[in-house]
Structure 1
């Protein structure tokens, strides 16, 4: 009995204390995030090399997997004290696994399928088992939630492993099923027959922390775009036109940063912390709402690679989809986040998407012109929203 009592306070110390409920990401979390720079670079390089229909489906599965691994880890570190050595060791172990996962990404739908599936499932299940260890006997609500989550992840891992052993087309089907299972879990509170589901179960989340972590991930994606663009530009900086395209590509990245961070991002944490059902709002804003933003930035990096390496070429449909599709996805995600967090109807974003989609119906445009047009649309959206927000602020102040 004495032994049990001695263990529980030690485990309770692994949980985030009340004075740690702020939104500041800790150094171990930031260190963990660095792994995903490599993973995103691998994803964008893989897409740039093969941008066919099948490759797009494969890339979508991989982006969904990488994002889900990261966001699930972020939800757990939202509850844990990352200054404790054992929690840091968990993050370092997942970092190592994340690097191996990133190395396997280019061949995930070829010879490294089993390796990718094994590493991904090991990280997901291992992290959840650690959560069970921490919460057992300390926090019954969270223990029940993570117990049900573990069941869902073990179930999805069957599809991951089966897909890793299957041929290409069957692998796509099985891994798609695995993704569907994992993304559906939170929507039904990881329901498992026989395991209690409390209607009032709450994770005790810090909206400020989740908002900052997602913002940092967006910065990672934007930084990856800068790295990819700079690398490609250095290989093709042989004319004044290349410099113009590079300037537009760089400007697009900066404008995406501006559109995301200038107004709505600061309201995201307030929305979660002030909500009657914070977990439900957090899932909408972070788990699912940020996904189009992240995917859009990655696709933008691929489009910029095309426009820099073949500036004078007439755009093919796949190249047009990359250059235009990235900003469209990003703006669509920004619309969702801003409407959910600030009840802001971003007319500028809708107009920007309409103009970008309209470019798809202008065949024969050279790649450099598409890149310039894409940057111009993002500039229009940023200026339009800036003026609307400032005008609204002046009106509220005057009232």
Structure 2
């Protein structure tokens, strides 16, 4: 077993890609939960359940990026994790009711296997023990609280879930300089986050296809679909055209662990928002393009897009700060885009799906154009300097 930071270049393994594939199903079930109803309780349930699912993926990803191993024991433990992820997906729809015990057990198993991995890493990599033992204890308490919740009646069970997640989130946040002593891999980790982002962005494509298939063909419906394709492509562009490992490299070079942790946690609202955009696009396409778009559907799509723009803006800001660059205008563009989308949500009551899609595509494509202009001006400044 090797510490991930000791490897200069590293890409995702086939096992990691298979692991992501199983998470595709879980994310799809979460999206289905939101698609069934966009009321405030449904949105709350969607976001609340996304937290342990996303955090489960984060746990395995950070272990893999630090400890480069692909032996038989690791594969078998990953197989158990995959089983737990499938169980999470199966129990998503009733996680706040009749299947809450199954959901809690699945999450407890997922975190329990991670604890076993960290205990093994502490023995195989002695220099990593301060961090691995800390993680084993914190994540072990998290797993124990979720397991104990199985024997606690509703609604108190959810209090143990929240406490477990609080302990689990606090474990790496309070690790301080230990992150710098054993940093995650500077090229592998951004790639892994990029792959997960592709997964949730793919839900927008699924929503687009489903919504289009439910609509009777007309020029108006075709244009709405085309606008939605442009929106999804624009979101891909502004995130992946700026994806790099500056935050991780800063943690390695200067111990600026707080910056890379902000980079990490900003990806949660990004994932939540991107998956919700797919539901919003689905509802937009299913609606009659010539009638007013229902307020709930308008707020769902615009709210999700605003969250996505804001999250990408935070990621831009963190990356620039880590790389010791002046904060570029890209983050301001993203925040401005979020504000513009919220204006559509607030004032767009009279708008049809065609009009809403038309305004949103203008906002999204403008974000791409602004990035291209800044890239061009930056290149000209570099040449002139």
Q: Using structure 1 for the length normalisation, give the TM-score.
A: 0.86
1:395 aligns with 2:381: yes
Q: Which residue of 1 aligns with 2:302?
A: 324
Q: Would the alpha carbon gap of residues 144 and 305 (structure 1) be closer, same or farther in structure 2, given more than 3 Å must change?
A: same
Contact 2:118/2:135 (8 A) holds in 1: no
Contact 1:28/1:82 (8 A) holds in 2: no
* Shift of residue 337, structure 1, vs aligned partner: 1.0
Q: 1:123 aligns with which of 88, 99, 110?
A: 110
Q: Would the alpha carbon gap of residues 237 and 42 (structure 1) be closer, same or farther in structure 2, given more than 3 Å must change?
A: farther
Q: Which residue of 2 aligns with 1:284?
A: 262
Q: 2:329 aligns with which of 327, 345, 348?
A: 345
- Higher mean C-alpha deviation, range 244-253 or range 210-219: 244-253
Q: Would the alpha carbon gap of residues 372 and 162 (structure 1) be closer, same or farther in structure 2, given more than 3 Å must change?
A: farther
* Shift of residue 168, structure 1, vs aligned partner: 6.3
Q: Would the alpha carbon gap of residues 94 and 158 (structure 1) be closer, same or farther in structure 2, given more than 3 Å must change?
A: closer
Contact 2:177/2:257 (8 A) holds in 1: no
CA distance in 1 between partners of 2:178 and 2:66 (Å): 20
CA distance in 2 between partners of 1:349 and 1:119 (Å): 37
Q: Which residue of 2 aligns with 1:244?
A: 223
CA distance in 2 between partners of 1:301 and 1:87 (Å): 34
Measured on the aligned residues, the alpha-carbon RMSD in Å equals 2.5
Q: Would the alpha carbon gap of residues 17 and 381 (structure 1) be closer, same or farther in structure 2, given more than 3 Å must change?
A: closer
CA distance in 2 between partners of 1:237 and 1:268 (Å): 47
1:89 aligns with 2:66: no
CA distance in 2 between partners of 1:339 and 1:202 (Å): 24
* Shift of residue 210, structure 1, vs aligned partner: 0.7
Contact 1:207/1:273 (8 A) holds in 2: no
Q: 2:350 aligns with which of 364, 387, 390?
A: 364
1:381 aligns with 2:367: yes
CA distance in 2 between partners of 1:275 and 1:225 (Å): 37
Q: Which ranges in structure 1 are unaligned for 5 or more consecutive residues?
A: 1-13, 190-196
Q: Which residue of 2 aligns with 1:5?
A: none
Equivalenced residue count is 376
Q: Which ranges in structure 2 are unaligned for 5 or more consecutive residues?
A: 321-326
Contact 2:309/2:338 (8 A) holds in 1: yes
Q: Which residue of 1 aligns with 2:208?
A: 229
